[in-house]
Chains A and B, each alone.
Chain A
């Protein structure tokens, strides 16, 4: 730092050398700024990239806007569908449930097989071929496999998949492996969570599939892309009118398409987290930097007096110190900006792999950057400006003479004197804190705030755990759920119950409906379950079971809110399968639950209302984990089984999925919270040291050992840290509460929960950081220049 360019003024040289002299501290401040900035840009870059990538993926691969299932409709209707106003493109296809007997897996894999047009590619929902080719028309047993399923089973081109389609067995040969915008998430009936091994999707040419399932010249699903200004409800109404004679349960849009609903909900969660957390980080970082910078400048008092004595004007001096702070702030913004973009890109790439998007469009919106950088610079410089103005207001003589001893007589002098147990060092610590309550309070606030960030971010994992526990262990404590292709008599339940390894079985009946209340309408599924059943029940957020009254319906609170319904109202339920009766059902209770929306009745009531006899759609089972083999084998053989959900697997998968998805973001935020905490604590200790250098040196000269002197400095920090821990815990709980509310969505409500381990973890991190920062400053205490500290007044 001795060679500086000649054009540089003296004041700027001073600046450069001073910055170099305080590089560790300056970096620590820069890191706090960088933490706030990086978290912001990381979230912004990652989210806009994910959203943009998803949009482009859907666009390029012609993802459908509407799905219109039927039982069996004549192919000629396609012309009428294409003629509907607002339809840009439409295609019909055959979509059939399938069972796959995969090698090396005892549990049955379910899934579906979809038709591709006999020639060329689909006009809607196009595939992205990862390898291989599309099937050749006329080759009966060629199929393309969804990449997730292929990867989970190690399927390669040329391998075969044994499939059961409507009772008929086929061996399908894999000719291609593909991604599909419709199956970003592949999830089966009765499953809560995608499991790549348990749910497969295959595509065959239409002719081959039609022959296999006897749908010649017919289709059972139309998929439609809308033109830009089309009205979705209007097109749905037209489609429904057109397809109703062919057993159509009603067309639905992307909001009800399971894969997109999942992806959207996940990206929404990330977006919410990205909207909620980073401003908190930036605010906390700005506040902390503000505190640190004003103290940093306060210790420059003598230097400021000297400059004024030389004749520098106040504005020169303010400018000089603002430059100092600006360099630090700019360093922080640069580090944060670079880290933010880099990490944002890295995270987006990870999510791209996780969602199996075929490509990634990385997007960093310049407006985001300008805002964040502006906010960071403004808050930091603002804090510095106030402190410099205060310092510059002193007259130079006063500023240069040693500051008069601060007056401790007014505050807490006497009572501390009377406390005989205290030694003088402890008195110094206490008086110091009481004399400068603001300074102590800000230190406590800073440490508490960084602790709160740690707790807040970690608490989301706790909330998710409570949610999983409530929805699986309390609400759905069964091991296996079996759904039939169509409702069957109770005999089917009894035969399941008699299977080897089945310990208990409870039936359920599900029926798709459109719920109407006044002008509002929602698609939903009514689940009928036995009264006092234990294998699946609705519970409220206190995990208390909620039972429907006789003939009545229990609605989840989100569904009730969408329909504007309260307990006691009556809701109209238009059943969309079978005889399609229109039911008027009294709502006996509305309950808040953590996961999903739903409507429940007693199974007898539902069956009575449907007038189809005592039917079951499937069953919930508890099984002996050691004797599942024959049950699974039977299920694989049973053509009437449409889907099998394995709870234990699902819980594991869900936990892993959340870990991978939200967990990754949460870990990143946690690391940044740690970074901010380190910056704050180190600066606090370091500045306390600068402020009290002379006092500490005097003590060393008087014969106090390094340990004694360290006690006075670090004792204060330790004391304040201990004070900050409970405050941080309280603030962290508050932040956790806010995040839980902000993160809750239609699909789930994130419970407010902070596990003791989270408090422990955050506390431990803060303590470790304090110890490390103290050790770093401790080494400076060891190097105190005793003689010099005593010579100068200040």
Chain B
């Protein structure tokens, strides 16, 4: 266990600092304790892989970091600001300014081309990349005017990544981004994520069931039963191209 270590101040300034985060759905006998007091510090700029079984609380935690949900108890500081007490409007602003999301099922707008899907976000961002730059970063500079229906699953996911990073977010949250993809395509997507993390320095959290992916992380967080079971810094970081599953 490295419990005593992760309370130590990390070398970089903190991106997230979570203390006693609890999330309970429902009440009384039907209450579900999704998170049971999570303490976690995440430094800025790292690529963090979050592992855990289904129901371990990792997605709930990610939703709270992303401003989609608020904890029942405890606090979450984003760069020193408390986001656990924010109202709906403040959360919308928070997501708009700081957070990029990548989803398992891409969630592209089928009625918009790749370029327009990215533009959807750049139009409301403060200092965005151009859609073309963002798509070039994920290797889709030749697919700008294709609609989602004309793209493969991996390509659609890379459009989603481009969409997420185009506004130059401070944080990139990815929930099972390779979950719906075969291994070769999945690796292309991870490479895109890695490039983005290296280029933009956005703190990147990547939730997955797939333990093999942990090899590309700076830091690995393992959830179990609504708590953080383990946090480990990855000494032997690999490139996505070097792993397989």
Contact = CB atoms under 8 A, between A and B. Distances in A.
Interface of A: 402, 404-409, 413-414, 417, 423-425, 427-428, 431-432, 435, 694-695, 698-706, 708, 786-787, 790-791, 793
Contacts, number: 104
Interface stretch (B43-51, B94-102, B220-228, B236-244): B94-102
Given A417-B115, A417-B116, A435-B111, 20 more contacts: A402-B105, A405-B108, A405-B147, A406-B111, A407-B149, A408-B110, A408-B111, A423-B123, A427-B112, A431-B112, A695-B107, A699-B120, A701-B101, A702-B101, A703-B93, A705-B89, A786-B63, A786-B68, A787-B59, A791-B104
A262 B113 CA distance: 69
A413 B69 contact: no
A529 B148 CA distance: 81
A662 B103 CA distance: 61
B95 A703 contact: yes
Contacts of A704: 92, 96, 124
B146 to A, nearest CB: 7
B97 A406 contact: no
Nearest to A436: B111
B140 interface: no
Given A417-B116, A786-B68, A703 B147 contact: no
B92 A405 contact: no
B179 to A, nearest CB: 10
A424 B149 contact: no
B120 A694 contact: no
Question: Lowest 7 CB-CB distances: which A-B pairs, in order?
Answer: A703-B96, A407-B149, A405-B110, A431-B111, A405-B148, A698-B107, A703-B95
A782 B46 CA distance: 34
Contacts of A790: 101, 103, 105, 107, 175
A697 to B, nearest CB: 8
16 contacts: A402-B105, A405-B110, A406-B110, A406-B149, A407-B147, A407-B150, A417-B145, A424-B120, A432-B111, A695-B109, A698-B107, A703-B97, A704-B92, A706-B92, A786-B69, A791-B59
B112 A705 contact: no
Given A405-B108, A703-B97, A413 B113 contact: yes
B156 interface: yes
A702 B149 contact: no
Interface in B23-65: 59-60, 63
B121 interface: yes
Contact of B68 (A431, A706, A787): A787
A706 B87 CA distance: 13
B119 interface: yes
B124 to A, nearest CB: 7
Contacts of A428: 109, 111-112
A793 B124 contact: no
A700 B107 CA distance: 12
Contacts of A405: 108, 110, 147-149, 156
A768 to B, nearest CB: 28
Contacts of B104: 791
Contacts of B103: 698, 790
Contact of A703 (B60, B105, B121, B150): B121
Interface in B107-144: 107-113, 115-117, 119-121, 123-124
Interface residues of B, number: 42
B68 A424 contact: no
B177 interface: no
B111 A694 contact: no
Among A408, A417, A703, chain B packs the most CB atoms within 10 A around the CB of A703
B112 A701 contact: no
B71 interface: no
A785 to B, nearest CB: 9
B186 interface: no
Given A417-B113, A786-B68, A404 B95 contact: no
A366 B112 CA distance: 56
Given A406-B149, A409-B146, A703-B96, A427 B111 contact: yes
A284 to B, nearest CB: 30
Contacts of B146: 409
B66 interface: yes
B116 A424 contact: yes
Contacts of B117: 424
B34 to A, nearest CB: 11
Interface string B55-90: 000011001001011000000000000000000110
Contacts of A408: 110-112, 147, 149
A62 B117 CA distance: 82
Contacts of A699: 109, 120
Contacts of A698: 103, 107, 109
A548 B175 CA distance: 91
A703 B92 contact: yes
Contacts of A705: 89, 92
B116 A427 contact: yes
Nearest to A712: B109
A339 B105 CA distance: 48
Among B99, B104, B107, chain A packs the most CB atoms within 10 A around the CB of B107
Contact of A409 (B105, B121, B147): B147
Given A407-B149, A694-B107, A701-B101, A424 B112 contact: yes
A404 B113 contact: no
Contacts of B120: 424-425, 699, 702
A409 B115 CA distance: 13
A119 to B, nearest CB: 88
A636 B152 CA distance: 97
Contacts of B150: 407, 409
Contacts of B163: 702
A790 B156 CA distance: 16
B245 to A, nearest CB: 21
Contact of A701 (B95, B110, B124): B95
Nearest to B60: A787
Nearest to A698: B107
A100 to B, nearest CB: 77
Contact of B123 (A407, A424, A435, A695): A424
Contacts of A787: 59-60, 63, 68-69
Nearest to B117: A424
Nearest to B93: A703
A701 B147 contact: no
A410 to B, nearest CB: 9
Contacts of A694: 107
B101 to A, nearest CB: 5
Contacts of B89: 705
A558 B171 CA distance: 84
Contacts of B109: 424, 428, 695, 698-699
Contacts of A413: 113, 145, 147
Nearest to A409: B147
A309 to B, nearest CB: 19
Nearest to A695: B109
Contacts of B113: 413, 417
A54 to B, nearest CB: 61
A419 to B, nearest CB: 11
Contacts of A424: 109, 112, 116-117, 119-120, 123
